[in-house]
Structure 1
Amino acid sequence: MTFDPLATLHPKSKHWIVCVRVSRKWEYRGGTDDGPIAHIDLVLADEKGDAIYAEIPSSEVDVISPLIEEGGIYIISRFRVSRAKSLYRPIDAPYMIEFTCYTKVYPAKNLPETFPRYVYNLTPFAELPKYAGENKYFLDVLGIISEVSDTTLLQLPNQSAATLNRNIILKDLSNVEIKLTLWGQRAAEFTIDEVYNEEQGKPIVVLIVGNLMKSFAGEEYLSGNTACRWYFNPAIPEAEEFYNSTHNQRLTIKRTAAPPHQTARLQGSLQLEDKHLLDLETMDPYDFPEGGCRCTVTITRLILTTPWWFPSCNRCNRACTPSGDGYKCNTCSCTGYRFKYKLSFIANDGTAEAEMIAFREVARRIVGKPVQQVLRLARFANDTPPPDIAAIVSLKFAFAVALTEQSYYNPKRTYQITSIVASYGRQHTVPHIKLNQPKQLPICQTADPIL
């Protein structure tokens, strides 16, 4: 079969067939780690080394995304070629690929491993400042790691909860330094433990792609979020000069610890004891950890017998009851109220299923929209859950949970979600509880793709 080189693609034709490696794949959630997926972004490279940006829209994520893995080589057809975006471009190319409901994807077989592993366009450290705040291109850099900080928590204006971040200091061959700040999941994933031995002290050269240049309070720095990837000691020509200049040299990488109050806060949310639901369901309630625990579950169905919202007292935050044309708090007699979330659902982790409940801000992060916005779109608040509420089914999270007070009086337990530790997005299979031989039940079936 003959494939079209990426360099020849243009919008005037619709009958392209390409064979490409997926160099990078990431989710764009509108600037947050836990919002709904707006689209999935890809960097694709063909055998000649040319690259292009591609986008899977939210409407096609459930069908197409499971067919594509980062690093895989695929034959893709029936897509649209359009002009590249003007901002946040990982590739300096005039066109991009748009996946549609008609796009066909299947793995390529029996092909030589000559497709490039890395797709990059290096920017020298001295030129980085001119891109500060521009947000037109994602930037790629190559340097030596000289310092790595622990993760810390930082409250950002566009985030409802504090976000993980980690700082890394890079040096070029002229000893020019640049700070890279990783955010969210990227901050949690970054580690040099597997490639750095303190006793040997061998320098680590790192290629980091998909960064934006930022400026804050007079300081210019690189920012790495979901689009960011890194490769330690890459086998690329530009790295050879770094390897030659550091040959037989010893470099101590400075480790910067998080402030004590930050460490305690992280331990409270990220370092809780992991428990399976089966462990929690069979545990004596009086043995439940006082600080709560962490469990990773998939939301499998909603509990439709309870409303997904409630009127909350402005003064004491308790639930209000109907009074005349409005609501009134029976505790403090306040008539001021705001609608807030009260999500009840069944979650499953493959060992058991359990009832969980989430209120207010935690529930908002699960849904991804303010309750007032969802209420405006719902015909009747007590009617069938609106699409935004129904859409939480099949989402997977790591939750910090506590046992509700009623669970001490009732054999049927309910776990209140106190915080979201991690979000894993929509799952295409749900855990099936079978103790002897765990299996996966598909949420949706997808036919084998054909050209």
Structure 2
Amino acid sequence: MEGGRYKVAVSDSTHYIQSVVVSPMSQLLSSDQLKLNDVFKVTQYNLNSSKGHTFLVLGSLEMESLMSIRSKIGEPVNVDHDPDIASTGNAAVRTAPPAAPPAVNNAPRPNPFQSNIGNATMANRPAVAPPTGGSEEPESLQPIANLSPYHNRWAIKARIINKTDIKKFANAKGEGKLFSATCIDNSGEIRMTAFGDVVDKFFDMIQEGQVYFISNAQVKIAKRQFGVRNEYEVHLEQSSLISMAREGGEALPSVRYSFIPISHVSNLDKDNNCDIIGIVREVGELANIVTKTTQKNLSKRDLTLVDTSNCSIKVTLWGQQAENFNDLGNYPIVAIKGARVSDYNGRTLSTSSMSTITMNPDIREAHELRGWFDSQGINEASRSLSTAANLAVSAKKDDRKTVAQIKDEFLGSGDKPDFFSILGTIAYVKSDATISYMACPTEGCNKKVLEEGPNMWRCEKCQKVFDRCDHRYIMSLQIGDHTGQTWVNAFNETGEQLLGKTAEEMYHLKINDDAAYSAVFKDAIFKPYVFRIRAKQESYQGEMKLRCNVLSAVPVNAEDDLDNCEWMRNGDFHPTRLDAQQDAAHLIVNAKRQSNVENVVAIMTMGGSSKANYNMHSHRQGWRVMPPLVLKNRQNSNQRQRIIAFLGSPLEESAQASLASIGKLLKKNGVALDIISFGSQEANATAVAQVLAAAAAVEANASNLHEALLAPGCECHVLQVGAGESLSEMLMTSPILLGEDGSVPMGGDFGMDGDMDPELAMALKLSLEDEKSRMEREKGANSSATNPPAENEMVVDEDDEEAMLARAIAMSMESAAQEKQQ
């Protein structure tokens, strides 16, 4: 089998012939409905010859005639080796014309509001040239879906729904020209292209909206970036025949859409094509740009579309499509076929010469969209996919990299830069005078200026001297994850987001208040972000060095950065494990924040996306260093420390050996652990018991874990949810969200409803904390033994070579000093 096609030998008991089976008949072979030695009647086929060999292309058969037998009939010989057949040519094998596809009454209805953007109207179209080859229906008529390179003798009857202008190009072979058109019938669509002198023959003849018979052309593998949903395309030749169909054109569709919601565009890869329909919320002004390659002026116009998914996206029209766009007002509907996905400033769409744009189409989707917008959408705020802040969020999870992968996969070492995202934490920010530079105040320039005297700065680009200058960030910072740390550069907009102040403010703060200046950097570290990185090797002082620039930094969203491995696609929890986990995480975040305004909730680690497991072994350093380190540096050191872990996929056996040491480390540092196990409870029962028993300092195994965790003073919990149950509903009634007596705690061990009297709850909480502190001080004064660590202190076991907790900041500072010396 090759590409969904089968090579077989068929026999009539006297002769056999090599054959190629294509769709739909090939589907019978794939599903084993058609087997070896079966007897059947062929209803659609073509006879072809190549290099002296004859072969058949089989398209379909009559199912009623299908009969199975145990062995072959007769002793057939190859039809190419029979001298009697060879002397009479191919006449011995007769070809019956296939039946034409059934007509479908879906003729396009006239619509006074419908127009095709960027295409000539019927009134302005030139007269059609006289048809070539007559207008009679060819005997070898085939549906577009059956075309393939194996067919030599074919003809199609199709409507032209799109035609490009003549494009000129130049390559190693010289200069050339081409044009393309999209053909459609009831079975599908295909792209048709003409090159060189063939363009002059057929360009004026082919007109949009008309129906033609097309034959004597080559079928080749298609270039999928052009957006036509067919694995093949037609190349016209000088010998090709094209004639206008006089009858039957009303049965062919005018366009076929496969719409997707705007919210799903973020899941598509860059340069993919899609069909969308949306309400025009904003129309940009017509602008002209100069292309980098041809240095020609090109018109562009930006539209903002919104649909029922309540997401909006920017769509860019080019050339005549931008110039001919007519804003009809009152939020018109636009349907676009063949829009191309781009990752510039998040997710955007752009049209091409092969795109079809229709205003206010008379289709079901347009009527449903209009009803939604008029009733509710016009008053609702939509989420934009086309913003710089959305760049890292909209990136697919398989775009995520770790710090170690930057080196292991040689990112940035190619001819073009690599773009990826990193889920990491700021470990260190260089705070010397090089965090900013003096820039030209001219809008859009931003070049470095030279100080020529008091209040005199010169810009070499603008060739002007200014009495002031702007300060812009050019920061170096170290970010890290569970696999290591790396240096990256951040510029003005990103720097303002990370530090919370402008470069101008930081410049004056360093001069006037050095303590406040240092405090800004201290507040910026140990915060997690999703960093969008551009990596490229550049030459510096004759040496190639990797340069990583931060394009955007988005604070971590606890609902987006959860275990997203292949196991989470299972549908044993409605609608999937991943969706159930996101709902539960949302519930936890809201409950913890509402129970106490001082509570802080954050995500610190997640499952690996490259393997079908939650690889805790590879995340061991993340578990041992990052969560305890961030918890230690929390703003309110009196707050309790807790980690809530979702476990929705099986653990590797190699990872389970480290779970006990992880639990002991959490116990030493006063960190409580809750585990929500769902979907793989039996496979993870032993592992859950090991880590919770160590974290709670109890003797427990998988069978008595629940009883052991109910012991007085135990702050660890486990929630096991079976398939089919609601994860959120089970969580709402569990001790993870409720106190032991069923009430929501306000951070203390007393039980009450904090919503009834939040001031009293907060007073009780503070009173309890003060009483605990007094008792601990008295106990320490009366005891000669070594004091146990306070709840907010970090305990480090120096004998454990993996306990890098106390050295994390020191390592960052050492790396910073080394970098400064270089």
Rg: which structure is higher?
2
Larger proportion of strand: 1
TM-score normalised by structure 1 residue count:
0.48
Bigger RCO (CA 8 Å, 6+ sep): 1
Larger proportion of helix: 2
